[in-house]
Structure 1
Amino acid sequence: MQTAPGAARFTGKVALITGGATGMGLATARLLLREGAKVVITGRSEDRLKRAAEDLGGGERLLAVAADVSRPADLARLTAEIRRRFDHLDTVFANAGVGVFKRLEEFTEEDFDSVVAANFKGVFFTVQHALPLLRDGGSVVINASWTHHKGLAVGSLYAATKAAAANLAKTLASDLAPRSIRVNSVSPGYIATDMFREAVSSAEAREASRQQVVLKRIGTPEEVASAVAFLASDAASYVNGVDLLVDGGVANSIPA
């Protein structure tokens, strides 16, 4: 895979992307590979990872490892494989997450445990396990969500975990500052991913979602990937502890 002229921000850099087999993670992996990075993608499904690796075609610059971020033992095995293959990390995109959207009275304890485990515990321990491999001056980007900026009736559990993840980015920005490791979060809006299509399954519901967006369209995984790449790059060298909305204006603006 060749790097496009003038687009080599990540040449020689090593990036870990959790949830990298689909959606925003896959789009970010593709962009970073195109810009010269060595990329590690991980996810729970070996079949999806295999398909993603074939799709990306990164050759020796791509490592795909099946792992569940909610299991610290899996993360320990993941980081051991990264150390053997690439020795270090320069950036982490803690992207893996799940969504369960119900009214409050419908949630079960199993729902609660699974969403918290993936969206908060998984993010926390992903960064912790990656830390020994992260070079000083590196970067971490955490995938949060527009839903922690605005109330959504069926999003109480999902939004709460994303609020925790966004706050974690702020606190880790302070915690890791002595090593000049920057930590930021992105908060995507309605993005055309498998999770969005599953949660918003009818044409009527998708149109209602689109109408909430000031730009009057659903976003793409590639648009989120561009924001992640900016935050991870040297172009954002003085950007730290921020939450970047990538939502077409849905959280902060009212459609005309």
Structure 2
Amino acid sequence: MSSLKDKIIVITGGNSGIGYTTAKAFLAKGAKVLITGRQPGAVQKAVHALGHPAEGFKADQSDMNDIRRLYEYLQGRFGKIDSLFVNAGVAKLAPFETVTEAQYDELMNINFKGAYFTIQQLLPLINDGGSITLLSALNAYTGTPNATVLSASKAALNSLGRTLSRELAYKRIRVNIVNPGIISTPLLEKAGLPDETREHLSNITPLGRLGQPEDIASLVTFLASADASFITGAEYNVDGGLMVHPLIA
């Protein structure tokens, strides 16, 4: 893989799970990484674990003021950046009949509005020839029950990525989308799934296992590298074949 040495990478929601693992992968390839997160203690802990030259910044992707503060900090600290990984997001399920306006706003504000304006605000800092990678989900396509708002937020994110890949092509900024399958992250652990449920999820995945954060990190670092210089507007399902499996519904 082409060297990412000294490239400046920004990862939203990078203090745990896929974001943290991806930050670790970028650092291993010689990049400089700044992660964001809503909880300053969690961000500080993650930066300490990642080690130099990782940095952190407290920012809530749903808060426009935080997004502006992030822009100002990055401009002063680095001037320009090479890659943005829009990873921050939430996944909450509820039957359609019970969804409240507050629940709707939370998901849409973080997953889509926040991502939209994070890209818009940070765009002037991204070097020509840089990259933007959006972390979406299979929910953008699968019509999963109880995920009306989640699915809509992810479908909007995918549409944004496709559109921006054309709109930003004049700057040679590549925009790609990653749709993870069922990934074993702290979020999944917190759900308290019984062993039989985890086994079932593994069994319905054609490759016979849950995904690992490293599976996503490998693709994201590739998409930020020069080896992916002719890839833009692409969507990658990293799901062990789940998308084409009839039991996904």
Amino acid aligned to 1:92: L
TM-score by length of 1: 0.92
Report if aligned partners of 1:24, 1:225 keep a CA contact under 8 Å in 2: yes
Report if aligned partners of 1:192, 1:219 keep a CA contact under 8 Å in 2: yes
Distance 1:96 1:200 in 2: 21
Distance 1:91 1:248 in 2: 26
Distance 2:2 2:163 in 1: 30
Which of 117, 122, 145 pairs up with 1:125? 117
* Per-residue deviation, 1:195: 2.3
The aligned counterpart of 1:198 is 190
Tell whether 2:195 aligns with 1:207.
Answer: no
Moved over 3 A (4+): none
Report if aligned partners of 2:86, 2:132 keep a CA contact under 8 Å in 1: yes
TM-score by length of 2: 0.95
Report if aligned partners of 1:214, 1:254 keep a CA contact under 8 Å in 2: no
The aligned counterpart of 1:154 is 146
Give per-residue Cα distances to partners, 1:75-106, cap 9 Å, x unaligned.
11112111222221100000000011122122
The aligned counterpart of 2:244 is 252
For residues 22-101 of structure 1, the aligned pairs below 5 Å read 22-58=16-52, 61-101=53-93
Distance 2:228 2:82 in 1: 14
Amino acid aligned to 1:95: N
Give per-residue Cα distances to partners, 1:25-57, cap 9 Å, x unaligned.
001100101111111100101111011011101
Aligned residues: 247
For 1:87, what is the secondary structure of its paired residue?
A: coil
For residues 174-185 of structure 1, the aligned pairs below 5 Å read 174-185=166-177
The aligned counterpart of 1:173 is 165
Tell whether 2:13 aligns with 1:19.
Answer: yes
RMSD of aligned alpha carbons: 1.5
The aligned counterpart of 1:238 is 230
Amino acid aligned to 1:198: K
Report if aligned partners of 2:2, 2:225 keep a CA contact under 8 Å in 1: no
Report if aligned partners of 1:40, 1:82 keep a CA contact under 8 Å in 2: no
Unaligned runs of 5+ in 1: 1-6
Distance 1:196 1:36 in 2: 30
* Per-residue deviation, 1:202: 2.7
* Per-residue deviation, 1:8: 6.5
Amino acid aligned to 2:112: F
Unaligned runs of 5+ in 2: none
Distance 1:93 1:194 in 2: 19
Aligned-residue sequence identity (percent) comes to 38
Report if aligned partners of 1:99, 1:195 keep a CA contact under 8 Å in 2: no
